[in-house]
Structure 1
Amino acid sequence: FLAEMHYRGQPPRSWSEDFRQNPSETLPMVMVNARDAQAYSEWALKQMPTEAQWEMAARSTDGRLYPWGSEPINLARPRTPGQVEPVMSVPEDASPYGVRDLGGSVLEWTKDWYDSKFYHQLFNQPVVNPTGPTAKPRSLELVVKGDRKSGSASARQGIMLEKRLTYVGFRCVLPVEDKGGAVNPGSPASGTSPAPPPPGQPPANPARPGSTPAPTVPF
């Protein structure tokens, strides 16, 4: 991506330094801001997920609290500052669709503007695939999903889109045609095989469980 696009997003020195110290492609990409993530997604002919798409891939439709279910698991790991674990370090951290590392791994950018009260305003309103506020917040924060401590699928926070942090990465999504409601969100970029499509049409998003976001395939 960097070589082909002559990308001028000024990737931090830590990219090359960290790679020399631990040359592993099994680690999630971090130290990327939202513009970096968007540029790569477009180059790969994919998209950054909306918050609703991310949460749908993590929770499905049964109201679970975590990608793996509604019972907490121990995600505590001895970490040095800035340390990340290889993908699939926690075998239990898999969503109903087989999507890995949505709970205990790095936090992930979405493309929705952050408003702490946005979904409170939509409560009891029928919405389909909400895409967040249309107006830019003054802070220029985007929604970041994930919770490294508990793995909560509904956890959300706002981070300024220019920030590059050691614990924030991203994944892409690829929209697919919905045929009869069977949706296969697939797997992250670590190369695992997609899970079989779940039965039925999955209607869920952070605003209203009865609505349906566009099906996506996370990579």
Structure 2
Amino acid sequence: MHGYLVAYLNIQPFIVTLAGMFLARGLTAEVSTEMIAIKNEVFLSWANNKIYLPFGTVNKKGVYLPAYIYPTVIIAVLVVLLIFLVLRYTSFGRKLYAIGGNQQSALMMGIRVQRVKLLTYTLSGLLTGIGGFLFCLNSGAGFVEQAKGLEMDAISSAVIGGTLLSGGIGNPIGTLFGVLIKGTISSLVTTQGTLSSWWVRIILSLLLCFFIVLQSAIAIRKRKRKKI
């Protein structure tokens, strides 16, 4: 639905997706405002499964602690790599970058802009569903207030990872590093002990502003070079 509204009715993407988010959150609140624990045995077995690595650490008591990761990490990394390959080595990816860079030029090149946009939003919905599934594997429950505010984390991670808000430049690998930077900042603030958790938001906001200003400065410099 979002893809059709943006591609064929030319409604601003930010307005469409924001309205869709509020609609989905409101419908979820109508279903239940209480936390619902997931009791499906197959789901819980996936959530509790661990993949042990061939190395580990030794604590202060001399006990060996094996290192492990959850299957959700592997799934997330595979999805990132798959999207990177799609964007870099397929015609769909090249068309997407062309539309993001200059939609009018993409039209003149013969690209079916509306169709590509619709496919892009369909793919985005699929990836959102995968993300929600992985999030539930981690939390083991569902609640209407879950993931509230994560949309700004997603935007900040993408921008910090090198994605231009104006479009045409960016890749999921850079966004992955943006997520890792956000996670590192969150861990440092948490382990520091004396700072409020709100400092994570403050630092991320400052980083976001810095990278947006940096992107604008680079864009202005490129325009000046083209005029010369």
What band does the TM-score fall into relative to the shorter chain? under 0.3
Question: Could you say which structure has the larger radius of gyration?
Answer: 2
The structure with the greater share of residues assigned to helix is 2
| Greater relative contact order (Cα < 8 A, sep 6+) | 1
Give TM-score, length-normalised by structure 2.
0.22
